[in-house]
């Protein structure tokens, strides 16, 4: 069935029950959440808004009808550029209900990147929020294909129309648009870790399968409460939320990632499932260890599952987590926007003894690991991970050449290097394009990063390859040191003594590690920053590997 049917069913059967909650700890703009907690009035309600399933469906219908009055037709493209908010998902489903294709945009895009993506997707309508007024004003006259620009918020700019004003006149009745599994539903943009983002086209069946996959993996029932923190424009957050959509359970959208906010919200909302990125989990653990968070002051008895995705997970992190939260189930999920987000591979809550692996093929999925000729390799042999299932993209929209490079006979070749162990569990080694070749040896940066994260002094680390005349490339480690810790280059070199010599970083750089909103390290940016340093390629010990 099309994904919109799940919303319609929930509105019919669970209409008066809460579907979405928004928590915005900094809505006041002047006082922090902690400062609010010092006053007598309940601070939490100041930041809280909610919506029932019936209200959700009506808002989606009204926006769909607004778009239809603007001439939107089936397979037109409508772009969303909003921060996480209570309106985000009703807008998303309103677009789908018209038969149009929804195009979520990364809120960190520059004006030129926004323009590029709108053009690449052939979007004819854009809906955006106040945070992006300057960027949209800069490019709107260079986007003649946009016949309608809608603004969500107060003080609507002159080049746009007010969403609130026009939607108030629209009918709450569902539009008479027939949809099927085969209809196109969404264009998501790749994270751009290997170049300019590509437009990834999916049908409704991909979205619906992601909902079934998520519920199969994590057993969502109507009593569950999912805490959603990552950006909704990305497949990761939304497809995990699809488990809540399928089960008719409540979800909480938290606008902020401070450890105290996450724990407070999980306690107040009695959250049962929380999806974190590695840096957020580390920040929570560090805050507990520093005494900034006293777990005895919170009711976290309902929290049953913590799961992580978007990047390899250091086993040491989960070991620390289980010390503080021994009753939590744990899962990790692997996926790409090309495979409709997380779930094509997952560890499974019963396999915590395999932490470090990304798992096995997810519900409805198949996997294989292949060599450069796309022939399957033996266990414990590194190759490229390929996946097959109902969530594989249709194509890179408008790019037949790029599509042909990654799709063959329904299999998606991910560009991620991996290997299986003797039990069939898949271990991610690195991105194919991130592999460092030094003196003829392949180095997989993730292996070095996992090793360095075992240091108590290291908060985050990224390993990249830098050009070197003698060796071709050398491994450089960009290291973020934990607050209050002391770490020198000599300390790092001593710590790496147990690594094979050719895997030891030849350059140590103490700096922040940039990550995108989904938690992935921005390695192209790091290579751009540090390859310009002419000293990097020269500061190598004159020794054989």
With 0-12 / 13-18 / 19 or more C-beta atoms within 10 angstroms meaning exposed / middle / buried, residue 454 is exposed
CA–CA dist 418, 312 (Å, integer)? 11
| pLDDT at residue number 532 | 53
The closest alpha carbon to 202, from 212, 191, 189, belongs to 189
517: Cα within 13 Å, side-chain hemisphere: 20
Computed on alpha carbons and rounded to an integer, the radius of gyration of the chain in Å comes to 24
Contacts of residue 213, defined as CB under 8 A and 6 or more positions apart, other chains included, come to 343, 344, 362, 363, 364, 365, 391
Contact in structure between 187 and 334 (CB atoms under 8 Å): no
| pLDDT at residue number 545 | 38
* Tokens (6 digits) for 467: 């050009």
With 0-12 / 13-18 / 19 or more C-beta atoms within 10 angstroms meaning exposed / middle / buried, residue 526 is buried
CA–CA dist 151, 141 (Å, integer)? 16
The closest alpha carbon to 382, from 332, 312, 430, belongs to 430
pLDDT digits (tens, 9 = 90+) for 317-333: 899 999 999 999 999 98
184 φ, ψ (degrees, to nearest 5): -65, 145
pLDDT digits (tens, 9 = 90+) for 240-283: 999 999 999 999 999 988 999 999 999 999 999 999 888 789 88
- In the numeric block, the tokens 């000293």 are attached to 535
| pLDDT at residue number 428 | 83
Helices and strands, counts by H and E, the chain: 16, 27
| pLDDT at residue number 25 | 84
Q: Facing residues of 396 across strands?
A: 200
Which of the residues in the chain have pLDDT under 70? Answer: 26-46, 191-195, 310-312, 430-432, 439-441, 469-470, 517-519, 532-545
318 φ, ψ (degrees, to nearest 5): -70, -35
CATH numbers and ranges of domains, the chain: 4-354 (3.40.50.12780), 360-431 (2.30.38.10), 435-531 (3.30.300.30)
Q: 88-103 in b/e burial notation, b at 16+ Cβ within 10 A?
A: bbbbbbbbbbbbbbbb
Contacts of residue 95, defined as CB under 8 A and 6 or more positions apart, other chains included, come to 63, 64, 67, 78, 80, 101, 102
SS3 at position 408: strand
| CA end-to-end span of the chain | 57
């Amino acid at each position: 069935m099309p994904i919109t049917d799940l919303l319609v069913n929930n509105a019919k059967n669970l209409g008066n029950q809460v579907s979405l909650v928004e928590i915005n700890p900094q809505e006041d703009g002047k006082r922090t959440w902690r400062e609010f907690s010092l006053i007598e009035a309940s601070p939490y309600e100041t930041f809280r808004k909610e919506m029932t399933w019936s209200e959700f469906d009506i808002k989606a219908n009204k926006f769909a009808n607004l778009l239809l009055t603007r001439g939107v037709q089936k397979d037109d493209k409508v772009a969303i550029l909003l921060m996480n908010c209570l309106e985000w998902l009703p807008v998303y489903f309103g677009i789908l209900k018209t038969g149009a294709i929804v195009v979520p945009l990364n809120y960190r895009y520059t004006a030129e990147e926004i323009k590029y993506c709108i053009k690449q997707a052939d979007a004819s309508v854009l809906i955006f929020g106040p945070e992006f007024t300057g960027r949209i004003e800069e490019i709107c006259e260079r986007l003649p294909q946009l016949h309608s620009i809608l603004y969500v918020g107060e003080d609507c700019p002159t080049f746009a129309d007010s969403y609130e004003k026009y939607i108030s006149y629209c009918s709450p009745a569902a539009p008479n648009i027939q949809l099927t599994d085969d209809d196109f539903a969404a264009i998501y943009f790749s994270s751009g870790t290997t170049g300019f983002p590509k437009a990834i086209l999916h049908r409704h069946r991909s979205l619906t399968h992601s909902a079934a996959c998520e519920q199969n993996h994590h057993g969502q029932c109507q009593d569950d409460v999912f805490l959603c923190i990552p950006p909704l424009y990305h497949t990761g957050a939304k497809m995990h939320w699809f488990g809540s959509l399928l089960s008719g359970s409540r979800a909480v959208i938290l606008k902020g990632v401070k450890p105290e906010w996450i724990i407070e919200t999980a306690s107040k909302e009695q959250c049962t499932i929380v999806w974190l990125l590695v840096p957020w989990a580390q920040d929570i653990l560090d805050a507990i260890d520093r005494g900034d968070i006293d777990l005895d002051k919170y009711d976290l008895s309902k929290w049953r599952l913590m799961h992580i995705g978007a990047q390899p997970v250091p086993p040491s992190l989960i070991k620390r987590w289980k010390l503080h939260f021994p009753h939590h189930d744990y899962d990790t999920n692997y996926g790409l926007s090309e495979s409709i987000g997380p779930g094509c591979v997952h560890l499974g809550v019963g396999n915590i003894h395999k932490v470090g692996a990304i798992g096995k093929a997810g519900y409805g999925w198949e996997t294989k690991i292949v060599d450069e000729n796309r022939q399957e390799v033996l266990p414990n042999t590194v190759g490229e991970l390929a996946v097959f299932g109902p969530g594989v993209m249709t194509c890179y929209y408008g790019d037949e050449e790029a599509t042909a490079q990654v799709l063959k006979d329904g299999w998606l070749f991910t560009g991620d290097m991996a290997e299986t162990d003797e039990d069939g569990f898949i271990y991610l080694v690195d991105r194919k394009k991130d592999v460092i070749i030094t003196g003829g040896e392949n180095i997989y940066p993730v292996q070095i990063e996992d090793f360095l994260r075992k240091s108590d002094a290291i908060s985050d680390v990224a390993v990249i390859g830098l050009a070197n005349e003698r060796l071709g490339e050398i491994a450089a480690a960009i290291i973020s040191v934990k607050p209050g810790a002391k770490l020198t280059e000599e300390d790092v070199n001593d710590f790496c003594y147990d690594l094979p010599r050719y895997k030891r970083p030849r350059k140590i750089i103490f700096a922040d590690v940039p990550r995108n909103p989904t938690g992935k390290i921005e390695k192209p940016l790091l290579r751009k920053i540090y390859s310009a340093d002419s000293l990097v390629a020269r500061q190598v010990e004159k020794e054989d590997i």
